Amino acid sequence: MNYLNITKGALIAGIFMISSLSFAQKKVETDAALALQAFEKAQMTGNMEEAKKQLLKAKESVDIAATNPETEKSPKTLFLKGEIYTNMLFLKMLQDAEFNKNVPEDAKDIAVKAYKESYDLSNKYDSDIQNSVNVIKQTLHPLGSAAYESKKFKEAGMIFGVINDYNSVLNQVDTVYIYYQGLSAELDENWAQAAEYYKKCADMNYKPNEIYRATAMAYIRGGQNDKAMEFLKHAIEKAPKDKHLYFALGTIAMEMKDDATVLSNLNKAIEIDPKYSDAYYNLGSYFSGKGFDLRQKAGDLPPNAKKESDELLAKSLEYYGLAMDPLEKYIAIVPKDLEVLNSLVKIARALKNPEKEAKYKQLLDAAKQ
């Protein structure tokens, strides 16, 4: 027996076997691609039964390719897997119970992971993946908006979240959709989730004039006052010259009726930006509101409660005094705000300042014209 010939024969047979296995796996990958093309063609012609059949066939082939060492890290297999599972996710919306049995609960996560791995492994399918992600966003955005307009806030938040999941494939974060998720969660009264999304926006400095307050308010409405204050104080430590942070903390303190914190933080915001009209407005409206409430209480007291009534009126004048200056500075920036001009007329009258009462009455009359 010639040992060398046996060895050569075994080697050739082994090479042939390996080549056959590799060919078989590549064929499975090709089968997935062909079935996906057949699905797309059937879908375009409106033959949804054939489309479902071909998509399930594509899934069967790509699942085999994705579990074999020869092709599991192939950018093509991963791209096809992202395409196939994404299409399954969309077809699931047709509510076909029989088809939906074949759609995994985590189909979206599987699709996103496969797309991302393909995108990171190779540049070969980058443009295809980018196009797919853009189509997904263009498809989902109006669905999310429609759900939001229909007050289906939980559904809207989920759709906006899916958009951002697909954005992550391209290593992108779209703060607009995180903000929409926060809004949806807030309107659904899911305060913890709203705070989480708003905080992400705050960390990326998105809509700073309102996002810090929105984050803190979500914490407060969720019964987490300490988190609200901690969030804002920590943010101020990182950015001590950010007027929006002091504004947010002062505004939150208004909700908590903490006069000292309202004064110190809104005044700090004004110190940073002397033309910060929103800070002047909040400061003035907060204290004028407190003064107005006390005057109403005094007016509701019986005639024999004069001492208590006088005390309430005296305190109301203190609050009006605190309100006058910021409201005057606000109206110097926003001269035609009828509500504020009307308040200034009443405050000046209560403070027995006829000159200012006449001045703001004249400005009010002019602004009405």
Assess contact for 49 and 68: CB atoms under 8 A.
no
Dist. CA 9–CA 131, nearest whole Å:
50
Dist. CA 356–CA 344, nearest whole Å:
8
Other beta carbons within 10 angstroms of residue 141's beta carbon come to: 16
DSSP class per residue in 51-117:
HHHHHHHHHHHHHHHHTSTTTTT-HHHHHHHHHHHHHHHHHGGG--HHHHTTS-TTHHHHHHHHHHH
Other beta carbons within 10 angstroms of residue 121's beta carbon come to: 14
pLDDT of residue 25: 54
Query: Can you tell me which residue has the tokens 């070969």?
Result: 124
pLDDT of residue 5: 45
End-to-end CA distance of the chain: 115
pLDDT tens digits in sequence order for the chain, 369 residues long: 443 444 444 443 333 333 333 445 578 889 999 999 999 999 999 999 999 999 999 999 999 999 988 888 999 999 999 999 999 999 998 889 999 999 999 999 999 999 999 999 999 999 999 999 999 999 999 999 999 999 999 999 999 999 999 999 999 999 999 999 999 999 999 999 999 999 999 999 898 878 988 998 899 899 898 899 889 888 898 889 999 989 989 988 898 899 999 999 999 999 999 999 999 999 999 999 999 999 999 999 998 999 999 999 999 999 999 999 999 999 999 999 999 999 999 999 999 999 999 999 999 999 998
pLDDT of residue 3: 39
Residue at 46: amino acid letter? G
pLDDT of residue 104: 94
Q: Tell me the three-class secondary structure of 255-276, residue by residue.
A: HCCCHHHHHHHHHHHHHHCCCC
pLDDT of residue 28: 86
